[in-house]
Structure 1
Amino acid sequence: MTTLEGAKPGPTAMVSALIHGNELCGAIALDRLLSTKFSPDRGRLIVAFANVAAFSRFDAAHPYASRFIDEDMNRLWSRETLNGTRKSTELARARELRQFAESADFLLDIHSTSLPAPAMLLCGSREKGRILAAKMGYPFHVVADIGHTSGVRLRDFGAFNNGASAKSSVLVECGQHFDKNSPTVALKSIVAFLKACGMLDDTPEQFPALPRRRGQKFIEVSHAITIRSDGFAFSREFRCFETIAKAGTRFAQDGTREIVTPYDDCVLVMPARQPLRGQTAVRLGRYVAGGKD
């Protein structure tokens, strides 16, 4: 944990990386940021390397084995779980990070994907998340969803998911885990985030420039397909953001249950690399008008 103070007063923002120990791009980006002696123009920036214990076990020969030690750290962020008596490596670390997350007005949680996918922001289901994503303007794909049935993400923790609170958060997926461009996407996302929060006026010269702003593509998720059996399989290999034209098209089988598209022009968001019982296999959504910056 590191805190960087701006020269002028302003909001408190938190940028977190390594919620999953094998998602390296955010840690690389934050290391680059810290190596430049960066500080925001305004406010206070909390830099968090979250699941360092899992990261310390990273082995390039087995790159998916260090996602976590005991359990997925991005499913632990309900107050009931944090206040409970259950113990695990990830839960202990989440309890340490909790006070910092609660102190933040804005949060950017940096991730990457198991399969190749375009960079995207996950802004949650509240309008304030869409507004923050639109203010950032980068990356260009924005997904509005409610998360997972298996647990609460850091992005959805506490006031961040409360429509009555001004606190806002986004999660950024920077592309596939080991894409050499993913750390650059992460660093650009940090710059876009701090600008959107009013904490940074200009891109520091040692950082990569943000691309010229263009219209973002907003996808509103209507269904998260949770796997019920050990016999789940997609009908074929699907790409992230692949669109299925017709409602009622079968695209997966979950035991005896056929999974079909609920409407025309259904967008598949982040199909799972290894679908497991109780986990999210894929999100289903459609393109909608975006938030207003």
Structure 2
Amino acid sequence: MTRPTHLRIHQFAGLQPGPRLLVTSAVHGNEVHGTKAMAEIARQLDAGQLTLRRGTLTFVPIVNPLAHQLDRREGDRNLNRNLRPPVIAQDFEDRIARVLCPLIAQHDGILDLHSFQSAGQAFAMIGPRNNTGELEPFAQEATESALAGRLGVSRIVEGWLSTYALGLQRRQQRQSDGSRRAQLISDPHYGVGTTEYMRSTGGWAITLECGQHLDPNGPEVARLAILRTLVFLGMLDDAAVEPHRPAQPPEVLQLYDVIDREDMGDSFEHAWASFDAIKRGQQIGTRASGEAVLAPSEGRIVFPNVKSQPGTEWFYLARPSDRVLG
């Protein structure tokens, strides 16, 4: 197998100045709803069926070509957890970061398109409230909130990086075997991916989880989200896509904890789907030791992953948020 040696980037430069939007997909190689959607929108732009009014639209349909070639989530490692320009490249994902990080910094915002393993409906993930703290200082809350409410999903999730920080504290207390993998998952930078890196440059960012990996509706969810983002930014005419008018406001949830798998013998109580309701004290799973894993409070389970490796995220916990969308 020959390893990929380049990233394929498509750019449409409007003849009038305007926003600079970056759209990415296959950051995890087997998540390709956005890849298919970008191909269709590029075709429509080339055919004159869509007209870019202003600004710059950049597509990176396959961000991790090695993982995509292997038809799996990662190449050498998870690109979307330790994203930063490397001093010395140690793996394939470091080499991607050398190109991807400067590209992100050249744009005003990013729409990052993903999918997930378990069953469930599409949802969006947004950044923190405006703040000047050390973890993730931010001043684009209004833009992210307003855009997320227009993408066509009924559920929006916040609290990603702060939840990771909590999980990282626990992970650093465990004994490390000194491997590259152990160093990465206990790195204080762990949890920073495409959207977090964009926010660190002053931009806004939305992650759209377009559904389960094989959901046949996923590419259309991604396509409509791209078009609605372009309309929201004034880069396409309003007539380019039917606007999203939800019957009721999207549900907003706050991630508050992440639970790692400790052993391959750890097992779920049953086949959970993202956003299944859980009650306080309900058994979620069982450790290899026989210890029951219980829900600490009422809420939802998010991203339950039967394929997670020991020392990495097994599932997340979420509860209702008081955030008001624009």
Counterpart selection for 1:109 from 104, 112, 116: 112
How much has 1:17 moved relative to structure 2?
Answer: 0.9
1:255 Cα deviation after fit:
3.8
- Asked if residue 97 in structure 1 is aligned to residue 109 in structure 2, the reply is no
1:269 to 2:302 alignment: yes
**Could you report, residue by residue, the CA deviation over 1:160-213 in whole angstroms, capped at 9, with x for unpaired residues?**
157xx4x11011110011111100000111122223334334152xx6x34423
Code of the residue aligned with 1:282 in structure 2: it is F
State the secondary structure of the residue aligned to 1:8. coil
Q: Which of these residues, 199, 221, 227, is aligned with residue 160 of structure 1?
A: 199
Pick from 195, 208, 230: which aligns with 1:172? 208
- Scaled by the length of structure 2, the TM-score of the pair is 0.77
1:219 aligns with 2:249: no
Contact 2:86/2:94 (8 A) holds in 1: no
- String of CA shifts for 1:86-139, please: whole Å, max 9, x gaps: 422222112111111011111111011112211011113345457514334222
What is the percentage of aligned positions where both structures have the same residue?
Answer: 24
Mean Cα deviation higher: 101-110 or 140-149: 140-149
Q: Please identify runs of 4+ aligned residues in structure 1 that moved more than 4 A.
A: none
| Structure-1 residue corresponding to 2:157 | 143
Cα 1:200–1:262 change in 2 (3 A) is farther
Is the Cα–Cα contact under 8 Å of residues 110 and 174 in structure 1 kept in the other structure? yes
- SS of the residue corresponding to residue 289 of structure 1 reads coil
- Cα separation, 2, equivalents of 1:25 and 1:132: 22
Q: Which of 106, 118, 123 is the equivalent residue of 1:120? A: 123
Q: CA deviation at 1:220?
A: 0.4
CA distance in 2: counterparts of 1:262 and 1:130, whole angstroms: 32
Q: Secondary structure at the match of 1:73?
A: coil
Q: Which has the higher strand share?
A: 1
Aligned residue among 25, 31, 40 for 2:52: 40
The aligned amino acid for 1:47 is: F
Cα separation, 2, equivalents of 1:263 and 1:161? 32
Deviates further, 112-121 or 86-95 = 86-95
CA distance in 2, matches of 1:248, 1:258: 10
| Aligned pair partner of 1:189 in 222, 225, 230 | 225
1:54 matched to 2:67? The reply is yes
Contact 1:233 1:275 (8 Å CA) reproduced: no
Whether contact under 8 Å (2:258, 2:313) holds in the other structure is yes
User: What amino acid is aligned across from residue 221 of structure 2 in structure 1?
Assistant: V
Tell me which residue corresponds to 1:289.
Answer: 322
Q: Distance in 1 between matches of 2:259 and 2:235?
A: 38
Distance in 2 separating the partners of 1:130 and 1:263: 30
Query: CA contact under 8 A between 2:148 and 2:206: conserved in structure 1?
Result: no
Query: How many equivalent pairs are there?
Result: 274
Question: Take 1:203 and 1:52, find their aligned partners in 2: how far apart are those partners?
Answer: 34
Distance 1:129 1:52, change over 3 A: farther
2:312 matched residue in structure 1: 279
Structure 1 unaligned regions, length at least 5: 59-65
**Distance in 1, Cα, partners of 2:92 & 2:239:** 37
SS of residue paired to 2:113: strand
AA aligned to 1:107 is I
Structure 1 residues 39 and 87, CA gap change in structure 2 (3 angstroms): farther
Deviation of 1:85 after TM superposition, in Å, equals 1.8
Aligned counterpart in structure 1 of residue 276 of structure 2, from 230, 242, 248: 242
Partner of 1:62: none
Cα separation, 1, equivalents of 2:51 and 2:111: 16
For residues 142 and 30 of structure 2, the distance between their equivalents in structure 1, rounded to whole angstroms, comes to 28
Which position in structure 2 is the counterpart of 1:18? 26
Report if aligned partners of 1:136, 1:196 keep a CA contact under 8 Å in 2.
no
**Which protein is bigger by CA-based radius of gyration?**
2
